[in-house]
């Protein structure tokens, strides 16, 4: 609150807000941890998986006991986050975000944050964000690289404008096969959390670009993105929500 661009009014806005973190892997853990410590009022965490030992080098909310007991990530995250800031309402939901339930999961939310690990689920989230007019912060991390972008419905390009869908989606590489260092999701997650706070408190300094970071070597690029005039999602055709 000592920051002049944040202040008491900004903190009150943050505490009155609700955010949803879709996916509680490395990105989701970092996002949730930072927003709870910052004093967001309510955080909803959606993930269907359980904690495994191979997660622990990058998924900062979990420990060996969680992995040994194979506790669902959403449950473990809720338990640990409540110990960090008891003033924040934490809701862990053990479920997969699908076309059939995504709108319900987004109900009452001010900002949607991407902690996912596949494009198909991100397209579903993108469609829901546009349909419900909820700001969506995209993020991804793999190997030593990561990227993030703010999607403000009716204002900025959406995910499909920048990354048009292609098939087959299940052939995409993931961090199981390629690997990922724990530092890159920490950085991308921190940027996502920061942009969420900017949106909530009404800052004029919201990042309009696609930010791409590589830690090996260190490079940071802010890429200007533009709307695709042929984008069906921006035109109100939510094709991924219709696949129920």
Mean pLDDT over residues 159-180, rounded? 69
CATH number for the domain spanning 28: value is 3.40.50.720
Beta bridge partners of 151: 136
pLDDT tens, position by position, 39-75:
999 999 999 999 999 999 999 999 999 999 999 999 9
Nearest CA among 163, 164, 162, 114 for reference residue 134: 114
Task: Provide the pLDDT for residue 165.
Answer: 84
Contact 26, 74 (CB under 8 A): no
Give the total number of structural domains in the chain: 1
Flag whether pLDDT at 100 surpasses 60. yes
Range of the domain at 104: 7-223
Task: Provide the pLDDT for residue 141.
Answer: 94
Task: Provide the pLDDT for residue 147.
Answer: 96
Residue 6 contacts by C-beta under 8 Å, 6 or more apart in sequence?
A: 201
Contact 20, 46 (CB under 8 A): yes
Q: Is residue 206 part of a domain?
A: yes
Given pLDDT bands bounded at 50, 70 and 90, which one contains residue 176? low
pLDDT greater at residue 93 or residue 117: 93
Q: Is residue 239 part of a domain?
A: no
Whether the model clears a pTM of 0.75, i.e. scores above it, the answer is: yes
């Amino acid at each position: 609150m000592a920051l002049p661009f944040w202040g008491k009014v900004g903190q009150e806005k943050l505490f009155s807000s609700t955010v949803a973190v879709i996916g509680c892997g490395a990105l989701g853990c970092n996002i949730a941890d930072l927003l709870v410590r910052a004093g967001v009022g309510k955080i909803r965490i959606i993930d269907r998986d359980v904690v495994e030992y191979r997660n622990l080098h990058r998924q900062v909310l979990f420990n060996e006991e969680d992995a040994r007991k194979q506790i669902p990530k959403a449950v473990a995250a809720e338990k640990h986050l409540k110990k960090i800031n008891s003033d924040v309402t934490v809701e862990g939901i053990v479920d997969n975000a699908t076309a059939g339930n995504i709108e319900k999961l987004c109900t009452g939310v001010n900002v949607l944050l991407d902690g996912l690990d596949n494009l198909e689920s991100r397209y579903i989230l993108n469609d829901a964000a546009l349909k419900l007019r909820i700001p969506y912060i995209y993020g991804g991390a793999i190997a030593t690289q990561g990227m993030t972008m703010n999607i403000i419905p009716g204002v900025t390009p959406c995910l499909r404008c920048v990354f048009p869908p292609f098939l087959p989606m299940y052939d995409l590489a993931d961090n199981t096969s390629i690997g990922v260092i724990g530092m890159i999701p920490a950085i991308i997650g921190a940027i996502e959390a920061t942009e969420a706070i900017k949106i909530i408190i009404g800052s004029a300094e919201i990042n309009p670009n696609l930010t791409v970071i590589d830690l090996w070597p260190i490079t940071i690029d802010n890429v200007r993105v533009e709307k695709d005039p042929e984008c069906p999602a921006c035109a109100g055709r939510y094709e991924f929500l219709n696949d129920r």
